[in-house]
Amino acid sequence: MRVAVVGAGVVGLSTTVALLGQGADVVCYDRGRPMGERSVGGSRIFRLAHTDAELVDLAIRSRRMYDAWSRDAAEELIDDTETVVSGPDVSAWAAAMSAAGARHSVVGPTSPLLRLPAGEIPAQSLVDHAGGVVRAARVGAYLRSVTSSVVREATVFAVEETTGGVRVRSSTSAEVFDAAVVCAGAATSGLAAQVGIYTPPDLNHHVRFTFALRQGSERERFQCWISRSSDGLDTYQHLSGPGEWAVGAHVGRDDVRWEAGRDHATQASRRVVTGYVRRYLTAVDPQVRELLHCTTTPGLDDGYRVLRRGRVLAVYGDNLFKLAPVLGRRLAGAALDGSTPPSTGMHRTAPVGGDEPADGRG
């Protein structure tokens, strides 16, 4: 079968790897540098921990695939630092971990199992022993090396159903395929709508900040940390490199909505995150060293949704890096056998207006 994959982020490249593994004839299009948009940067958090047992199970499978890719790449793609989730609803995370049979510990703030750069730790934490830092740049290098012969630098303008195929019109060609998978990140909504698949079109700005660990802490192997602080701020943070600590926060929607502009979103996020670092992270120097911009889809939580219309599949979701190997394999299988993979997770965390997707069709 000839399959087009639109987008060479971590999801598109994982799908391409799986399609190649099944013997498909694949073209993976990207309008820029592969892994250059939402998958950009050197690190992400990996965790089995989710509040939904199905997602824990998917993450277990994903971890196995990352381990297999690590062997293939001859370098570790995940650093085993563990991931900690702290806050008021730890019991929900623990219940999902238990239901999926994932190893974890629920501990208090003074537990010796915690290695965190903070002076104040919430009353309850869950330690996900299989969590850690995804070395995103290494993953990108590995995936690019496996897929280089089929990745094409071209902007896709149109995806059209024709009799007997799906035509992909790009800046370099117009070609007909047996199936197409649209995993174009922020651009998925516009492309998928051309064939009647409607995914959330709204975008938010998001900025992650990197800081230096203070002298004396720069060699610590801190755990990745997802936490709600005592003043109610949700953050995610991890060792993004030697002596480097990356922090992102869930900043108020008004400050990060698309129309507010990137500069406004950056300033507001910087204020919130540096304030948080000053207040809570005793081992971190609050001077911003580096920032990473990206877009997110408002209101999504962990998980993904796959929609089909005829020969075209489209996928969207949030926090997809950790699940990408298994999601890619599912998308590849579905492209080849005409099925639609079940959607998983995707609880909405905040009310959003007018972007509820139509259900999958076909």
Ligand X SMILES: Cc1cc2nc3c(=O)[nH]c(=O)nc-3n(C[C@H](O)[C@H](O)[C@H](O)COP(=O)(O)OP(=O)(O)OC[C@H]3O[C@@H](n4cnc5c(N)ncnc54)[C@H](O)[C@@H]3O)c2cc1C
Between residues 113 and 187, which has the closer beta carbon with respect to ligand X?
Answer: 187
Identify which of 59, 37, 14, 240 has the alpha carbon closest to the alpha carbon of residue 134: 240
Q: Mapping DSSP to helix (H, G, I), strand (E, B) and coil, where does residue 22 land?
A: coil
Q: Which of 138, 297, 321, 341 binds ligand X (CB under 6 A)?
A: 321
Identify which of 320, 292, 319 has the alpha carbon closest to the alpha carbon of residue 208: 292
Of 155-184, binders to ligand X (CB under 6 A) are 155-156, 183-184
Question: What distance in Å separates the CA atoms of residue 14 and residue 330, rounded to the nearest whole number?
Answer: 10
* Binding flag, residue 94, ligand X (CB under 6 A): no
* Binding flag, residue 121, ligand X (CB under 6 A): no
Question: What distance in Å separates the CA atoms of residue 138 and residue 42, rounded to the nearest whole number?
Answer: 8
Written as six digits, the tokens of 78 are 């995940």
313 within 8 A of 340, measured Cβ to Cβ: yes
Question: What distance in Å separates the CA atoms of residue 177 and residue 174, rounded to the nearest whole number?
Answer: 10
β pairing state of 83-86 and 78-79:
unpaired
Q: Which of 4, 5, 6, 26 binds ligand X (CB under 6 A)?
A: 6
* Binding flag, residue 52, ligand X (CB under 6 A): no
Written as six digits, the tokens of 79 are 């650093």
Span interacting with ligand X, options 18-26, 74-82, 268-276, 312-320, rule CB under 6 A: 312-320
Residue with nearest beta carbon to ligand X:
9
Question: What distance in Å separates the CA atoms of residue 46 and residue 83, rounded to the nearest whole number?
Answer: 7
* Binding flag, residue 320, ligand X (CB under 6 A): yes
Annotate each residue in 12-51 with x if it binds ligand X (CB under 6 A) or - if it does not, as one string.
x----------------xxxx-x-xxxx----xx------
Between residues 125 and 296, which has the closer beta carbon with respect to ligand X?
Answer: 296
Report, in Å, the least distance between residue 351 CB and ligand X: 22
* Binding flag, residue 314, ligand X (CB under 6 A): no
Q: Which residues bind ligand X (CB under 6 A)?
A: 6-12, 29-32, 34, 36-39, 44-45, 155-156, 183-185, 187, 191, 206, 208, 236, 248, 292, 294, 318-322
